[in-house]
A and B are shown apart, each in its own frame.
Chain A
Amino acid sequence: MAQINVIIDGKTAAVAAGSFLLPAIRSLGIEIPTLCFHKDLTPTGMCRLCVVEVESRGKTRLVTSCNYPVREEIAVRTGTPAVAKHREILAEMYLGRWPNVPIVKEVAAKCGVNSSRFRSAITDENPHACILCGHCVRACDEFIQERILDFAGRGIKRHLTMPYGEVDPRCVGCTSCAYVCPTGAIEVNDDLNHPVDPQMIRDHGMKINAEMATLDDKQCCMRQVGTANIVGVMDRYDLLPVHNYRFGSHPDTPRIDMNALKKRLTQGVSDGCWKGCSMACAKTVDNFELQTGPYRGQKVCVDGPEYETAAACSNMGCFDLDFVFEFNFYCDTYAIDTISAGTTIAFVMECFEAGVIDKTYSGGLELRFGACADVLELLHRMARGEGFGADVGKGVRYLKEKWAREGRADPAYLQDIGMEVKGLEYSEYVSKESLAQQAGYAMAVKGPQHDEAWLIFMDMVNNQIPSFTDKAYALYYFPLWRTWFGLQGLCKIVWNDVVPADNKKHPPQAAAKIPDHVRNYFKFFEGMTGKPLDEKMMLAQSARAHNLQRLICRMLGKGAREDDMPPYRAVGPVTKEEYESRAERYDKQLRDLIGFDPAGKTTEEKMQALRKFRMGQYNKVVDAAYKARGWDENGVPTIERLKELGMDLPELVAIVKGP
């Protein structure tokens, strides 16, 4: 952004073009009294206390600095007699009307006014009187995207109200208005489920609410499009699953990315997911007319799509928003998970194109990548439990085993391309270039969802966790952290989908944890329970749950090392076409990392060398991560670890020892 030089009381300040004057003045340490300014809200220029003299092109005039945008070189004078006089009169008027409100007294004193000649019939002696600053009106609108509060009446009759003077049922009681009110005029009188210290929770919650409202437009744009904001990002970093995770990007991605989606989303309002959350990341498409299925022809409201749903569609090669909406709607309606459905169907499509199954086998469906209409028909058959649809509904593991039994393909090939671990389908990220993410997925106790560890950027792009020890620590810390807040029922968005403006004050390794936001969560916990918490205690709490989950996994026969092994597609290129599409990258790795000269070698030879290397690396990471977690080399929690966690109950020890 262009910088403009502004001379303020003789000192020069460089200001970004279009930004408001007040922060620039204050950044020079010059004090300006304000009543209606709030750092997290759009300035309105209502109280007029912040006036200064601005000289531009030879003309001088008084302006309110809080909402004066700097567009050209100007000279500013903040303490002239005219300015002082103006402020003094205003301050005296405010003090006359609200003589006992602390903030008014304080601001008036800054203007040199300690008493007022303007006492009258409208003088309000209440120290918590409403001073008509408008903070609450703007917070309701700008944070919560509601317009519950507003002013009514004119002149001295002006007052704050809800529509028709009644409590509006749309008010979610989020307390944003009370949080920004400088006088305490708005009282919060519900204490929800009796936390020990509601104020502590509110203070930290409101801080993040304000961050989401003010920073998101510059960061993730989730207020506009929700989690689907990253469809385009993933494509550009070669991480968006395309054609059953074979590739990480596709030329048609712009047809389903954030910009395409923005045009179709109809609701930009508070979504009620959490009362008063200013992110409101759940989005909807209203009046969407369904083209297929039992509700064909009806106009419905589609809840979503989220990133995973959109990426499940790119994984099936279906780059068409109308398809995405319809797929999303019917998955929701049938109670089918969009991720498992998308990943399973993508696998079916690859098998179809490879000739493992054909049209007769699939009940007449032409299941090639991008076959939107056939996918929807399949989805309806899955829901009805009909024929081939019933099989697909059972997921990747079932299909792999069935088709291997029927001799339709080499079981090893089906294993390589069938994206499931522990029987659960992969969520929608390509993990090939991130060793830590490969392990994050395949070692997750609940199966390869990314909720336990999402380490792709940290590992692949930032190279922040280069050694096995670094990766092992990340695979120790992040699953425990994410398990912990999940167990508290706390949302993940307020951890890292908005980042405090000053997060960069932390060194990179620490910055990745977003320390200030982690502290918010600890304060939520303390406010609720009365018990202070730190990182060590949090990790200990979470490790108990995480280890119990691992033991349950073991009870279910899925908690051993072999159950933490990914299908090779999650680690590297399975097919020739896949290798060749990124040959430059893979050849370079062969040369630089393994010392294997790719010149003159066949693709098969190169693939084999790469596979051996990558699986070797994978196993080393698993070893290191097991060690960091206190598990043995087979991935079983050790008895010492259980003791350490106070979990050495006979029942649990018996599970460790095994039958």
Chain B
Amino acid sequence: MRVEKPPMIVVNNRDKLDWREGMTVQDVLNAMRFDYALIVVSVNGAQVEKDAFATHPVPDGASVQVIHIAHGG
């Protein structure tokens, strides 16, 4: 029997998120509720500029890294 894997992406090597057609970096940030100012995002290892968050596509199965540069503390 073939098992269809549900479309999924992984954020920060840990958190799984349902993938959907047309998903952008901004959608991922919204779903994770990441709205921090000092954020660096890469999709499958390639960095995405802030200006492109709303348009940069996130493919099915992508590994998305969202690094919050720690300020505060």
- Residues of A that sit less than 8 Å from B by CB: 1, 3, 16, 218-221, 227, 230, 233-234, 236-237, 307, 429, 450, 454-458, 461-464, 466, 496-499, 503-504, 508, 511-512, 514
- Within 34-57 of B, Cβ neighbours of A (below 8 Å) are at 34-38, 40, 47, 51
Nearest chain B residue, comparing its CB with the CB of A217:
B37
A496 to B72 Cα, complex, angstroms = 8
A466 to B14 Cα, complex, angstroms = 10
**Cβ distance A603 to chain B, nearest Cβ, rounded Å:** 25
B2 interface contact, C-beta 8 A: no
Q: Is the CB of B69 within 8 A of A454?
A: no
Q: Is the CB of A499 within 8 A of B33?
A: no
Name A497's contact: one of B14, B40, B66, B71 (CB within 8 Å): B71
The interface on chain B, measured as residues whose beta carbon lies within 8 A of the other chain's beta carbons, has a size of 21
A497 to B13 Cα, complex, angstroms = 26
B73 interface contact, C-beta 8 A: yes
Nearest chain B residue, comparing its CB with the CB of A495:
B71
Name A218's contact: one of B33, B36, B37, B47 (CB within 8 Å): B37
**Chain A residues, CB < 8 A from B35:** 236
Q: Is the CB of A1 within 8 A of B51?
A: yes
Q: Is the CB of B69 within 8 A of A514?
A: yes
6 A-B contacts, Cβ less than 8 Å apart? A227-B72, A457-B70, A496-B70, A497-B71, A499-B69, A508-B40
**Chain A residues, CB < 8 A from B13:** 463, 466
| Extra pairs beyond A230-B71, A511-B67 (5, CB < 8 Å) | A1-B51, A16-B51, A454-B73, A456-B70, A499-B71
Q: Is the CB of B70 within 8 A of A230?
A: no
Q: Is the CB of B12 within 8 A of A463?
A: yes
**Chain A residues, CB < 8 A from B47:** 504
By Cβ-Cβ distance, the 5 closest A-B pairs, closest first, are A454-B73, A463-B12, A457-B68, A230-B72, A457-B70
A6 to B68 Cα, complex, angstroms = 34
**Cβ distance A235 to chain B, nearest Cβ, rounded Å:** 11
**Cβ distance A466 to chain B, nearest Cβ, rounded Å:** 7
Q: Is the CB of A508 within 8 A of B67?
A: yes
Q: Is the CB of A512 within 8 A of B69?
A: yes
**Chain A residues, CB < 8 A from B33:** 236-237
**Chain B residues, CB < 8 A from A512:** 67, 69-70
- Residues of B that sit less than 8 Å from A by CB: 12-14, 33-38, 40, 47, 51, 65-73
A237 to B35 Cα, complex, angstroms = 9
A504 and B40 in contact (CB under 8 A), knowing A236-B33, A463-B14? yes
Name B72's contact: one of A3, A218, A307 (CB within 8 Å): A307
Q: Is the CB of A496 within 8 A of B68?
A: no
Q: Is the CB of A462 within 8 A of B72?
A: no
Q: Is the CB of B71 within 8 A of A220?
A: yes
**Chain A residues, CB < 8 A from B38:** 219-220, 499
Q: Is the CB of A462 within 8 A of B66?
A: yes
Q: Is the CB of B40 within 8 A of A454?
A: no
Which residue, of B13, B34, B67, has the highest number of chain A Cβ atoms within 10 A?
B67
Nearest chain B residue, comparing its CB with the CB of A493:
B71
**Chain A residues, CB < 8 A from B70:** 454-458, 496, 512
**Chain A residues, CB < 8 A from B34:** 461
A627 to B62 Cα, complex, angstroms = 36
Name B71's contact: one of A455, A464, A496, A511 (CB within 8 Å): A496
**Chain B residues, CB < 8 A from A503:** 40, 69
Q: Is the CB of B71 within 8 A of A461?
A: no
A464 to B42 Cα, complex, angstroms = 14
Q: Is the CB of B37 within 8 A of A461?
A: no
**Cβ distance A615 to chain B, nearest Cβ, rounded Å:** 22
Q: Is the CB of B37 within 8 A of A511?
A: no
Nearest chain B residue, comparing its CB with the CB of A496:
B71
Name A508's contact: one of B14, B51, B65, B71 (CB within 8 Å): B65
Nearest chain A residue, comparing its CB with the CB of B41:
A504
**Chain B residues, CB < 8 A from A3:** 51
Name A462's contact: one of B37, B68, B71, B73 (CB within 8 Å): B68
**Chain A residues, CB < 8 A from B37:** 218-221, 233
Q: Is the CB of A496 within 8 A of B36?
A: no
**Chain A residues, CB < 8 A from B65:** 508
A1 to B40 Cα, complex, angstroms = 17
Name B67's contact: one of A218, A233, A462 (CB within 8 Å): A462
**Chain A residues, CB < 8 A from B51:** 1, 3, 16
A307 to B73 Cα, complex, angstroms = 9
Q: Is the CB of B68 within 8 A of A461?
A: yes
**Chain A residues, CB < 8 A from B68:** 457-458, 461-462
**Chain B residues, CB < 8 A from A1:** 51
Q: Is the CB of B36 within 8 A of A233?
A: yes
Which residue, of A221, A498, A508, has the highest number of chain B Cβ atoms within 10 A?
A508
Nearest chain A residue, comparing its CB with the CB of B15:
A463
A214 to B33 Cα, complex, angstroms = 27
**Cβ distance B9 to chain A, nearest Cβ, rounded Å:** 15
**Chain B residues, CB < 8 A from A504:** 40, 47
Nearest chain A residue, comparing its CB with the CB of B73:
A454
**Cβ distance A193 to chain B, nearest Cβ, rounded Å:** 29
A466 to B13 Cα, complex, angstroms = 9
A456 and B66 in contact (CB under 8 A), knowing A16-B51, A236-B35? no
Nearest chain B residue, comparing its CB with the CB of A453:
B73
A278 to B14 Cα, complex, angstroms = 39
A630 to B13 Cα, complex, angstroms = 31
A227 to B69 Cα, complex, angstroms = 16
**Cβ distance A250 to chain B, nearest Cβ, rounded Å:** 16
**Chain B residues, CB < 8 A from A450:** 73
A237 to B70 Cα, complex, angstroms = 13
**Cβ distance A507 to chain B, nearest Cβ, rounded Å:** 10
A508 to B47 Cα, complex, angstroms = 11
Q: Is the CB of B69 within 8 A of A511?
A: yes
**Chain B residues, CB < 8 A from A220:** 37-38, 71
A499 to B40 Cα, complex, angstroms = 11
A61 to B63 Cα, complex, angstroms = 50
**Cβ distance B31 to chain A, nearest Cβ, rounded Å:** 14
**Chain B residues, CB < 8 A from A462:** 12, 66-68
Which residue, of B13, B38, B47, B65, has the highest number of chain A Cβ atoms within 10 A?
B38
